Structure 1
Amino acid sequence: MGRYGALGAMTLLSTSLLTAADEGLTLKVTYDADRLGDVAEEPVTTFTKKPSADLADLIRQVNGVSGIRMGGRGIDPVIRGQRETQLNVLIDGAFIHGGCPNRMDPPSTYASVNSYDTLTVIKGFETVKYGSGGTGGTVLIERQTPMFDDDGVVGHLSTTYRDNAEGGQGSLDLAAGSESGYVRVVGDYDEASHYRDGKGDEVRSSYLTRSAGIIVGGDITENTTIQASYDRNEERDVSFAGAGMDSPKSNADSYRLKLAHKPAGSVISKVSAELYRSEVDHLMDTARRGGKMVMSAPSESNTTGGRITATGWLGAHELTAGVDMQQRDKSGAIFALPAGVKKGLLWPDVSIDQVGVFAEVARHLSAQDKLTAGLRYDRIEADAASRERSFGKTLAELYGQALSPQTEHNVSGFLNWQHDLGAGRVFSANLSRGVRTADATERYMAKSNWIGNPSLDPEKHQQLTLTLHGGDQHPWLVSAFYNRIDDYILRYQHAGASRYKNVAAELYGLELEQAVRLGSHWRITGQLSYTVGNNLDDDQPLSRIAPLMASLSADYSRDAWEAGVRWNLAGAQSDVCLASSSCAGLDVTKTPGYGVVDLYADYQISAGWRISAGVENIFDKTYRLHESRDDVFDPNPVQVNEPGRQFWLTLRGEF
């Protein structure tokens, strides 16, 4: 097993449902801010060990989580019907915002599966510690401090082959040091050509991605530690069936500095300070799409931020408090090649600045009851500095209103109650109000056929989540949620252009999970999720909402062998808001249901080596997720199809 803290472990914590996604990455699914009492000895949900092009593809196996496909890379996660900047995605404590307004590179694209140790999915708004927004959930992609044996060197390497798209992946993770200090280097390379769907048709999805990072950490004093890191991610020749352009180049540089101090003899148990900077340089063009005129769209997205957090005890109250800030700067334009004539703007030098203060407090009311509450305040300033004309119009003419700086004062909070019912059963109720400000694209997009709205009000999400879970060898979970949203930011079609407005909306749903152990070697797991989204102003469905989703898996484990089969199911989605209808939404078409079977196996060759293999979509079904983007190469209005049958093989070594 690995020696990077939780690396490679399959563990259950009292604060979450926990499963291992693959050897080397531990995944936690957290339904509440905390847990109380005895919980199941095993997680409810298990995950196949399939190799993933990016982390968002991996977490699509989580109940209630989906993803929007546009190509072979850049799966955009969706949690309980919320997406994009409704989710907070932190990569080792830092925010990174993609350089593409069309979401070719969501934040999770810039985190290699093999370069991080833990992945935490927090559903809903159940913490205020990880920045403003996050109304739909929070995804934490983190690295742990290495733990060394006597030789002072630990690490792993792996290589993967995939036959559909003729792709391959290789990674290296190496750390050297001791308890007082270490150096860790990580690297990953992944390349694939276009894959084929179940019909044998080619789907534009090729990519080449490579990343490298260095992490240096150690003790300054007995009670103070420091860590500095730098990561470089490069995307090359990425093709997208679901976009009018491809991405020949995208670079991301991330810098992080962390300090942690544990005061002696104080009510404060820990003080931490973090600074980060991420710089994304992105390029889109139509060079591979044919036509006499090539359009090129370079853009930049830079994020600077930090936080100071203190934790401790005030009597019987466990308290976490802090301050955080984030500055997001985005710019982009469109040029006609080869002349290089500027045709218009994407983001007209947009800046969105946020400063927030937050506090969470937890208290045991009794041996059976625990109460956790959180509150945060955020001051938001947004402006577009450029006053250039875009596509022949001034920005005021394009938006239909004069531009002026916008300021918001947003207050969010939650109240969480957990009650131990005994016999390993825990009930929890979470009531929250989360506020999300409009992002740079929603406010200031400046294309002729895609226009932002600078005067958008922030979304206000009022959510109630009820969860009951229990079991021992046969764990189970039931979770229901309702979310009433004031000033929901709706993207819609009007006069040949995408636009944005505020409406009243609702999201609600149910999640069920059950695992049954049959003897000492077999485990059967089932999960089901259902989400409904409505535009209450127009009495129409919200776009891109997943249908009824379910899975059933059987896993076998004995000695050095592990194997399993997973049946992934989706119902038809007919509650749609079509772009072609009076609803003027983002849905492409009604989507039929499907059932897809995956097989996988794993064998421990020796103490440090293991081999894994599998077949995805074994019956070569043609299917697509309802949330995925429309395939611009298909004459019929359909979403981008998922890959057809694919065999994969992975060899992994640890030392």
Structure 2
Amino acid sequence: MRYRVRVLFACLVVGLFLGTPSNSVAAWLLVDVATDAEEPDAVGYAWMGDTRPEPDLLEADTGPPEPLEVDNLVPPGPPAIDPAGLLILQPQPLKLRTVRPFQAADVSKTGLFGRGKIRKSLFSRQRQQLSSRTGADVVLGKSARSRSATDAGSLLQKSPAVLGLGIQKRTPIITDTRVRGGRVGRLAANGSYWVPARIDLDTMLSKIDARLIESTVVIRGPYSAQHGPGFNVVDIDLLGSPRFDNGWETHASSGLDFKTNGEQWYARQTAWGGDQDWGFRVDYGHRTGNDYRSGNGTRVPSSYKSRTLDVAVGADLDDDTTLEFHYLRLDQTDVEFPGQAFDIDFLVTDAYELQFVRVDQEQYDRLEIEGWYNRTRFEGNAQSSGKRKQFPLLNAMNFRGFTDVDSTSTGFRSAVTWDDEAENQQLTAGVDMRHIRQELNEITSGRIGFNIFTNANSPIPRSQSTNPGLFAEYQAGDDQDVSLTAGARVDWQHANVTDDPAKLAALGTTNPQSSLADILGTDDFKRNDQLVSAFATLRWQLEDGWSMSVAGGHAQRPPTLTELYTAQTFLFLLQNGQNTATGDPELDPERLWQVDVGLELDRGPLRAGINGFHSWVHDYVTFENLNVFHGPPNGQVEQVSLQYVNTDLATLAGAEAHLELDLSDRLTPFATLSYIEGRDHDRNGSFATQRAQPGQPKQKVAGLPRGHFSGVDGGAKEPLPAIVPLESRVGVRWHPAGEQPPWGLELSARIIDNQNRVATSLLESASPGFTTWNLRGFWAATQKLSLVAGVENFTDKNFREHLDFRSPSGIRVFQPGINFYFGSELNY
């Protein structure tokens, strides 16, 4: 059967491309380049963002827009959602409004599939500066279709534009990203701040469907003061609302995608409209999938149902003022997690954001005020038959488990910008606040030896954190030979447990149970942290297409509510899985110092770059091995109990590189590389933690090496856990000559090295390397219809990522084998 599918797919691809007319007037829809062929009379102009273009920019005789260059393969979007699509219907000049982040970008052939260059004139000035910083990469959301991406994390993982990124693919629709080895970063989406509800199931990026993204900027380091305290930044700009110059208009778009491995369907319907002063966009997406098969044919329990509703409504109150409202709802049901303790019965996320922008005033050049409210709640269980086959220990323990989670993030951000364009200087200052509330209950029953527990709760108690902050950033010389960006912020964070004390008096699976105070080792749950951060980046334009950048910064990250208060919760945090985790209210904030040095070359057909970095992290939050559980029948290791701890000094160092060369007008090979090494320089620490026992609180015993009570030895230094191995991508793009080819093909390989640098004291396992091959193609069938097709892992490699579940006893979770995908989109 698989052989027949492959033959049919090969015939389809060959016929598709051989049958493409060479003089096609269709736009290169996958990269949204509008042709200058004759079109029907235009029905109006459209733009998106915050301010209407000047009247002289809308004159029809200004000529067609020139092609742009972007970072990767870009599929078409509905016309009014991305202006390049509007050009297909309305070829007159189109100008983006200047306040919001850029809303679209056409591309030239040099940007096909690869990294390429982004035309900065389509950015707002703020977005330009954010994306130009050392260690920053940009991904356009339109590439999600051609790369068969599901959530925002999947888009970042599949795009060659993002370097230094590790992933844990938990399900086909939920991806956890690790920027330069970090687990907890900063995630802003249209100004909102997102947090995972339960860190081993949902993720920050899994809440956002990749098709709803306009652009994403990833900053690999503490080089932004406007995104809160932390070490890395993922800034997502969602699709906004359109405007139409010639009065009321409405449009629609329908799309349908299918993946063969797991019979995964995705249907999307979008409607949009508006006039000169206001616009709306409504988008509904529906995903379903069954279990996928790994490369050796094993069925992996991974079915899901997911629905997304996205609404954007915007109005121009006057020529200088815009109000934009955004609502996002995610409904997921029956989501199976291979390699995790629990599946999701249902998950609901409701996210609201209101943005007010006013520009060109005497007192300032830009005022932006944003407020948001995001809430995620879900319930799950550990009783599915697929789960029991993966984890025989659950049946051996007569284990029954249920979990429910409620998490909210709310806050605001207000920023004022003074922009001196004549002197190329800009100053932004502001205030923000983030308020996080979280509660997780984990109700379990079973037995471990003679210890029987019934409806025992191992929770993250109802708790909250409040984080107000002040920030300022200065930029100068943005388009000159030397440019500078510098910023600083100060924060205060308060955290505390707000749950009912009576509920917290008897917790955990021991008999008799322990109180939260005994499990955490203290009854003082209040936290008050003062945090500071500062950074500076310099960029020099050298001769012959060379440029150089240097950056340095200091940042501090407060512990999360999970790191502070989790009470022996069944969280799968490391690859060996089946972990219980215990927090520590006495954790210190992490303190990072980082330097980056980069060199870029842009010389005609050759584009290349290399960047190196080194980070020193004091009080790095890592894990201590408290206890190892040996299960039946042979006494094999089945569970590792983890304790969050600070280590005095950890280092993270590595490099990223990329290369792209136009060998001809039709052929462009490319390559990327990412490498990171993490090391704990004080693994022994100054104490060992003794886990809470009935009637005895958790204790820190001075003078013993960390992990002493687990019986697992470790050295004075060892690699940090959960660090991904060296990764490289190599490939070639084939396309017709010209700036607007109607079809394209990409062949690429993803090469992963062995990972032998593992945390042995935590029983982390080494992992072998592997190579997967992918083939992707696109075709602009008509002016309104675009088609994509591809095959991922077409050698049917049986592989697993380093972060995927693999227990010390030998149980493994593998990623999907060969997977054909097909997609179509019709604009009307």
TM-score (norm 2): 0.72
| AA at the equivalent of 1:482 | H
The corresponding residue for 2:409 is: 303
User: How big is the shift at 1:238?
Assistant: 0.7
* CA distance in 2 between partners of 1:186 and 1:636 (Å): 44
Helix, strand or coil: the match of 2:172?
A: coil
The corresponding residue for 1:564 is: 746
* CA distance in 1 between partners of 2:479 and 2:772 (Å): 47
Change in Cα spacing, 1:560 to 1:351, as seen in structure 2 (3 Å) is same
Greater share of strand:
1
CA contact (8 A) 2:131 2:217 kept: no
CA contact (8 A) 2:550 2:598 kept: yes
Please say if 1:486 is aligned against 2:618: yes
User: How big is the shift at 1:171?
Assistant: 1.2
The corresponding residue for 1:351 is: 464
CA contact (8 A) 2:292 2:301 kept: yes
Change in Cα spacing, 1:211 to 1:227, as seen in structure 2 (3 Å) is same
Change in Cα spacing, 1:599 to 1:421, as seen in structure 2 (3 Å) is same
Unpaired runs of 5+ residues, structure 2, are 1-28, 33-45, 50-65, 78-103, 106-114, 119-126, 389-394, 447-452, 570-579, 629-640, 684-716
CA contact (8 A) 1:246 1:284 kept: yes
Please say if 1:501 is aligned against 2:635: no
The corresponding residue for 2:788 is: 612
Give the number of the structure whose alpha-carbon radius of gyration is greater.
2
Matched pairs, number: 628
CA contact (8 A) 1:124 1:136 kept: yes
Helix, strand or coil: the match of 2:146?
A: coil
- Superposed, 1:228-627 pairs within 5 Å as 228-266=325-363, 268-288=364-384, 289=387, 291=395, 294-313=400-419, 317-336=425-444, 342-364=455-477, 367-386=480-499, 387=501, 388-389=504-505, 390-391=507-508, 392-447=513-568, 449-471=580-602, 472-496=604-628, 497-503=641-647, 504-538=649-683, 539-558=717-736, 559-578=741-760, 583-584=761-762, 587=764, 589-627=765-803
User: How big is the shift at 1:91?
Assistant: 2.2
User: How big is the shift at 1:523?
Assistant: 1.1
Cα deviations by residue, 1:453-474 (Å, 9 ceiling, x for unpaired): 1111111110001111122321
* CA distance in 1 between partners of 2:74 and 2:651 (Å): 32
| AA at the equivalent of 1:171 | R
Greater share of helix:
2
User: How big is the shift at 1:21?
Assistant: 4.8
CA contact (8 A) 2:216 2:234 kept: no
Please say if 1:63 is aligned against 2:184: no
Moved more, 138-147 or 171-180: 138-147
| AA at the equivalent of 1:297 | T
Please say if 1:89 is aligned against 2:197: no
Unpaired runs of 5+ residues, structure 1, are none
| AA at the equivalent of 1:591 | S
* CA distance in 2 between partners of 1:96 and 1:22 (Å): 27
User: How big is the shift at 1:4?
Assistant: 7.1
- Superposed, 1:172-187 pairs within 5 Å as 172-187=269-284
* CA distance in 1 between partners of 2:229 and 2:460 (Å): 22
Change in Cα spacing, 1:617 to 1:494, as seen in structure 2 (3 Å) is same
Moved more, 144-153 or 161-170: 144-153
| AA at the equivalent of 1:636 | G
User: How big is the shift at 1:367?
Assistant: 4.1
TM-score (norm 1): 0.90
Change in Cα spacing, 1:31 to 1:572, as seen in structure 2 (3 Å) is farther
Cα deviations by residue, 1:84-137 (Å, 9 ceiling, x for unpaired): x2x2122222122222242x110111111122222222222211111221x033
User: How big is the shift at 1:560?
Assistant: 1.6
* CA distance in 2 between partners of 1:366 and 1:616 (Å): 40
* CA distance in 2 between partners of 1:513 and 1:477 (Å): 5
User: How big is the shift at 1:53?
Assistant: 2.4
The corresponding residue for 2:63 is: none
Helix, strand or coil: the match of 1:117?
A: strand
* CA distance in 2 between partners of 1:574 and 1:4 (Å): 52
CA contact (8 A) 1:175 1:185 kept: yes
- Superposed, 1:9-158 pairs within 5 Å as 11-12=68-69, 18-24=71-77, 33=130, 35=132, 49-61=146-158, 62-83=162-183, 85=184, 87-102=185-200, 104-133=201-230, 135-148=231-244, 150=246, 152-158=249-255
CA contact (8 A) 1:415 1:432 kept: yes
Helix, strand or coil: the match of 2:155?
A: helix
CA contact (8 A) 1:32 1:122 kept: no
| AA at the equivalent of 1:524 | P
User: How big is the shift at 1:637?
Assistant: 4.7
CA contact (8 A) 2:606 2:661 kept: yes
User: How big is the shift at 1:429?
Assistant: 0.5
Moved more, 441-450 or 138-147: 138-147
User: How big is the shift at 1:376?
Assistant: 0.3
| AA at the equivalent of 1:396 | A
Q: Percent identity?
A: 21
